[in-house]
Structure 1
């Protein structure tokens, strides 16, 4: 599902706001040991963000790239902006930035994902974060994960993913190392309990 379709498909489905946790048999190298937060799921497909992949860029790098600050200003950024987390959100449109955030910040371009999580992909939220006017909790993701019609359902049916309700703490947890195990723990599962083979009775 292309990101541009997200705003048009606002009828929530059962996977919206859910976590997908990759099973050990995941064949796609982009998603091995990944935790994905699903933002939209419909008959047209699905889109979401990997939330446990580090990104070498900093928030200052992003501001410089967008020409919102110059290099001299970069070292003067307040601590909240210097430390603002940037992650690799997925293999689609990797040059594009998205901010997943709590709903205490909303602009005309913000898209509600769940009752308390929203998505904004415009410069206004980047400015707000750099000025200290941003949401209580947020992370920027470069790129996203997308699936065509029926593709994600097929992958789940074939034991590619587990899914469970997301928590704010997991979404915005900055400790990416071990997030896979912590996401499984939400379901009472450990990696040792998982089988790479689909179990069909």
Structure 2
């Protein structure tokens, strides 16, 4: 399901796909889902960067929660900011009181009850457990877009929740006919 909630100048609900010209190596082949964007800056989470050291069963066990009898998704590195902070990006068919509605179909929360529901097998149908986030101050993201470090396209729930992580970077761009691996030959501005 495509997520076409981009309104006005806000990039909320869209993907930022790092281009081969990305000057910051920490974001090589990243797909960032923008959760909030306004005059005060922007905040997003990487949706294709599994954490090499942590697993969700380990996190649940460390929090004293049950480990459900089902396959759990990996833990993701959302970005370099506040790596000790945990977020759950989830399909909005699951209801919780404290959430940031990103689109009609995707929300973000830090509410512990959601993790407890996941541990009991009653959580959202689709979710990513994410440590850290990516943030930009006022005007910073817009400047990076002009410098062609990022390609901006509408977000797509199926890429976030259903695709293998290794395929997300290329697929996010390819949905618009863009081969991101040869993006240096195509220059555009946001």
With the shorter chain as reference, the TM-score category is: 0.7 to 0.9
2:63 to 62, 66, 71: 66
TM-superposed CA distance for 1:160, in Å, is 1.2
Deviations, residues 74-131 of structure 1 (Å, cap 9, x unaligned): 5xx3114xx2331111101111110000111121111111111001112100001111
Indicate whether 1:19 and 2:15 are aligned. Answer: yes
Moved more, 45-54 or 56-65: 56-65
Cα pair distance change 1:40/1:187, threshold 3 Å = same
Which residue of 2 is the match for residue 4 of structure 1?
none
2:39 to 22, 40, 43: 43
Within 5 Å, give how 1:1-201 maps onto structure 2. 14-56=10-52, 57-69=54-66, 74=67, 77-80=68-71, 83-195=72-184
**Over the residues paired in the alignment, what is the CA RMSD in angstroms?**
2.1
The structure with more radius of gyration: 1
Equivalents in 2 of 1:193, 1:84: separation in Å? 30
Q: How high is the TM-score relative to the length of structure 2? A: 0.88
TM-superposed CA distance for 1:18, in Å, is 0.2
Cα pair distance change 1:199/1:164, threshold 3 Å = closer
Cα pair distance change 1:158/1:67, threshold 3 Å = same
Equivalents in 1 of 2:36, 2:28: separation in Å? 21
Runs of 4+ aligned residues of structure 1 deviating over 3 Å after TM superposition are 196-200
Equivalents in 2 of 1:153, 1:88: separation in Å? 23
Equivalents in 2 of 1:191, 1:23: separation in Å? 7
Moved more, 34-43 or 174-183: 174-183
Equivalents in 2 of 1:13, 1:127: separation in Å? 36
TM-superposed CA distance for 1:196, in Å, is 7.3
Equivalents in 1 of 2:70, 2:93: separation in Å? 21
TM-superposed CA distance for 1:68, in Å, is 2.9
Q: How many residues align?
A: 182
Contact 1:98 1:120 in 2 (8 A): yes
Cα pair distance change 1:30/1:117, threshold 3 Å = same
Q: How high is the TM-score relative to the length of structure 1? A: 0.83
